[in-house]
Amino acid sequence: MPCIRTISQAVLLLGGLSRTLAMPHYPRTDGVSWGACEIDLPSVQCANFTVPLDYTKPNSRATLDLQLLRVPAVKQPKKGTILFNFGGPGLEARLTLAGTAQTLLAITGGEYDLVANDPRGTANTLTASCFNTTAERATFVGEPSSVIPSRDDELALGRVWGQTQVVEDQCFNFPGFRQRGSLIGTAFAARDLLQIVDAIEDDGLLRYYGTSYGTVLGATFAAMFPDRVDRLILDGVLNPHEYFNGYDVEAWADSDRTFSGFVEECLKAPDLCALGSRRVYPEDLEKDVYNLLEDLREEPLSQGDLLIDSSLVQTFIRFSLYSPQFYPALATALEGLLSQDAAAFADVYDAFVESGLDLTQSPDESSFAILCGDKRVPEQSLEEMAPVFEALEDESRLLGSSGHIQAMICQHWRIEANARYEGNFTAATRHPLLVIGNTFDPATPLRSAQNISAGFEGSVVLEHGGFGHTTLSQGSSCTINAIRSYFQDGTLPEPDTVCEADYAPFEPKTLTDVLVDLGYIEAAPEE
Ligand SMILES: *[C@@H]1O[C@H](CO)[C@@H](O)[C@H](O)[C@H]1NC(C)=O
Ligand SMILES: *[C@@H]1O[C@H](CO)[C@@H](O)[C@H](O)[C@H]1NC(C)=O
Ligand SMILES: *[C@@H]1O[C@H](CO)[C@@H](O)[C@H](O)[C@H]1NC(C)=O
Ligand SMILES: *[C@@H]1O[C@H](CO)[C@@H](O)[C@H](O)[C@H]1NC(C)=O
């Protein structure tokens, strides 16, 4: 295992020298030739951009083509480029950027080009796939998507432990997977960002917006190349210490609080929430749902070909809590189950899956291939994993056990990234970071934002007083303006600033409405 810090220093030194001596004015877009995208989209451009395949082999000439997508700035003069990573790990960044282009242009001010590349392991870039076809994946015997074992259910724990080993074996033995698996991961992804910056920014500095796992990538870049940071926003922070060296227990720290908040907001808005008249006190309504999950554990329901067990409902709650836009539907689904109306639940569930918010199916195995290849955790038997399961369930009664499967896969995982970032997250960046955390985020708690900010000199935590995963889930003009100011002139909010959302979570409003109210985007014509 090469020491990544040594490599990072070597590259930094060389980069710095060539910049001052040879190429003080790197022409923008040099090295990237933009053309049409293979997906037919208006006003975006794509490019294939060549980078070294393996940064740990400086003498190798092997290369990799990264796929980039660009949304051009809408205001002149252009200030530069903002790079994005939307998380997962495993999300196809180009598709996400194309789908949210108007929103992101409005939030970042319109003076920057927006660029994203599909990270190694995802989409067509070193695809981390362990199956020949989607059908093969779907019918695979060990597909560990059905049962979430709880720590006291030995039978289920043992079964999933075995299933996750079967999955790991499948990946380990799939032709070409071991090599691909060694070439993906966050340290290489951070170096890819640096290559892109060197090719398209004449000052050689990174401007970046990362959400969810994208905060791990951003923090890793900031720790490896602090002198190259001009603007860096981490929104919805995943604790990077835990990401590399633990089981992401802290990720669930605010999950229960978020669900409690959901219930409270529901009772405040009985006209907009199907559960709103069921109980007077939030504690009682919450108890009803916990009892429901307990009952479903012992006696699942069925509706058509849908098996409604506690694992399915837990996963559904987990992803519905990601955005207040889903809260009314979540309430309708739970109200259905609480009134023994499985069909009502199934209707909402089917719509949810059809809308593309696929709960269990993914196009490849990149999410855990990236994550597990990055992680270094001590080897443990199933028995020795007990404290991990306990920690996860203690962190969140509602969702903590959702972390068990991932912990088990990573425990079995044998393929390590050729380079893992092994340093700390303590640095003085060229310009301070803006770190944002929601008050009610089911997947990335405010505590993790505070954790990362503690290590980066001058960085400020902005608390976004909203619900959902990352600030893009519930609009706040205060948060939006803070982000715009940061990109426009580098201004950071005062420490301890709390930006409230502009509307309550059950109100039928969206981030787009806030951007329209602010005059940052034009209202869509009435339908
Ligand atoms: C990038 O490469 C892919 C695969 O070779 C090709 O289909 C696509 O047209 C290229 N895109 C651009 C913008 O050159
Ligand atoms: C996938 O395809 C390869 C090459 O055709 C074949 O050798 C292998 O058996 C297939 N894998 C599975 C699991 O069917
Ligand atoms: C973090 O790592 C850097 C580089 O190795 C080192 O100089 C610094 O002392 C470390 N900081 C902490 C708080 O451990
Ligand atoms: C950040 O989180 C890590 C991992 O949980 C922990 O070891 C460290 O003490 C935390 N740092 C701060 C400043 O809270």
Please say if the pLDDT value at position 330 is more than 50. Answer: yes
pLDDT in tens, 397-456: 999 999 999 999 999 999 999 999 999 999 999 999 999 999 999 999 999 999 999 999
- Cβ atoms of 303 and 346 closer than 8 Å: yes
Per-residue confidence (pLDDT) for residue 325, from 0 to 100: 95
- Give the ligand 3 atom nearest the CA of 424: 1
Tokens of 142: 């060990």
Whole-number average pLDDT of the chain: 91
Distance 147 CA to ligand 1 centre (A): 40
Residues 139-198 have pLDDT tens digits of: 775 444 578 999 999 999 999 999 999 999 999 999 999 999 999 999 999 999 999 999
Give yes or no for a contact between 462 and 482, defined as CB atoms under 8 angstroms apart.
yes
Q: Specify whether the CB–CB gap between 249 and 259 falls below 8 A.
A: no
The pLDDT assigned to 522 comes to 87
Q: What average pLDDT does range 315-331 have in this prediction?
A: 96
The Cα-based distances of 207 to 81, 197, 221, 305 in angstroms read 7, 9, 11, 48
Q: What is the pLDDT of residues 68-84, one digit of tens each?
A: 999 999 999 999 999 99
The ligand placed nearest to the CA atom of residue 175 is: 2
CB atoms within 10 A of CB 154: 10
Ligand 2: nearest atom to the Cα of 170? 13
Measured in angstroms, how far is the CA atom of residue 1 from the centroid of ligand 2?
A: 31
Cβ–ligand 1 distance for 304 under 6 Å, the answer no
pLDDT(486) > 90: yes
Ligand 3 atom nearest to CA at 427: 1
CA distance 64 to 196: 13
Chain segment 197-213, per-residue pLDDT in tens: 999 999 999 999 999 99
* Angle of the 282-298 helix axis to the 310-320 helix axis, nearest 10: 140
Give the whole-angstrom CA distance, residue 62 versus residue 196: 17
Which DSSP string do the residues of 362-388 spell out, in sequence order?
A: -SSSHHHHHHHHH-------TGGGHHH
What does the pLDDT look like over 225-262, one tens digit per residue? 999 999 999 999 999 999 999 999 999 999 999 999 99
pLDDT at 428: 98
Beta strands in 262-325 (DSSP E): 301-303, 306-308
Tokens of 90: 């495993």
Range 469-487 average pLDDT: 97
Categorize the per-residue pLDDT at 42 as very low, low, confident or very high, splitting at 50, 70 and 90: confident
Higher-confidence residue of 304 and 27: namely 304
Nearest one of 79, 122, 126, 118 to 98, comparing CA atoms? 118
- Ligand 4 midpoint to CA 447 (Å): 10
In 3D space, the residue among 236, 213, 239 whose CA is nearest the CA of residue 90 turns out to be: 213
**pLDDT reported for residue 145:** 54
What does the block give as tokens for 153? 């259910």
The three-state DSSP-derived secondary structure of 145-186 is CCCCCCCCCHHHHHHHHHHHHHHHHHHHHCCCHHHHHHHCCH
CA 427 to ligand 3 center in whole angstroms:
8
- Reading the block at residue 198, the tokens are 């060197």
Considering only residues 10 and 350, tell me which one the structure prediction assigns the higher pLDDT.
350
Q: Is the pLDDT of residue 386 over 70?
A: yes
Q: Kindly tell me if the per-residue pLDDT of 512 is higher than 60.
A: yes
Burial class (CB in 10 A: 0-12, 13-18, 19+), 54: middle
Q: Identify which ligand lies nearest to the alpha carbon of 253.
A: 4
For position 19, what pLDDT does the model report? 26
The Cα–Cα gap between 369 and 56 comes to 19
Q: Whose CA is nearest to atom 10 of ligand 2?
A: 132
Q: Is 426 in the pocket of ligand 3 (CB under 6 A)?
A: yes
Dihedral, CA atoms, 150, 156, 157, 159, nearest 10 degrees? -160
Whether 9 lines ligand 2, by a CB cut-off of 6 Å, is no
The residues facing 207 across adjacent strands are: 231
77 lines ligand 1 (CB under 6 A): no
Tokens representing 454? 């503690």
* Distance in Å, CA 131 to ligand 2 centroid: 8
Whether ligand 2 lies within 6 angstroms of the CB of 139 is answered as no
Mean pLDDT of 347-367: 82
Of 24-33, 158-167, 224-233, 376-385, the least confident: 24-33
Does residue 16 surpass a pLDDT of 70? no
Give pLDDT, residue 353: 85
Residue 332 neighbours by CB distance under 10 Å: 16
Q: What integer pLDDT is reported at residue 523 of this predicted model?
A: 81
Neighbours of 436 (CB within 10 A): 27
Nearest to 456 by CA among 219, 151, 123: 219
> What is the 8-class DSSP label of residue 98?
H
Question: Which residue has a Cα nearest atom 6 of ligand 1?
Answer: 38
52 forms beta bridges with: 63
Six-digit token string for 207 = 């401007």
Of 428, 432, 505, give the one whose Cα is nearest residue 462.
432
pLDDT on residue 360: 62
- Whether the model pTM is above 0.85: yes
330 contacts 320 by C-beta, under 8 angstroms: yes
Give the contacts of 28 (CB within 8 A, at least 6 positions apart). Answer: 200, 201, 202
CB-based pocket (< 6 A), ligand 4: 239, 241-242, 250, 451, 454
Closest residue by CA, ligand 2 atom 11: 132
140 C-alpha vs ligand 2 centroid, how far in Å?
13
Query: Which parts of 379-521 fold into alpha helices (H)?
Result: 386-395, 404-412, 446-455, 477-489, 511-517
25 compared with 326, residue with greater pLDDT: 326
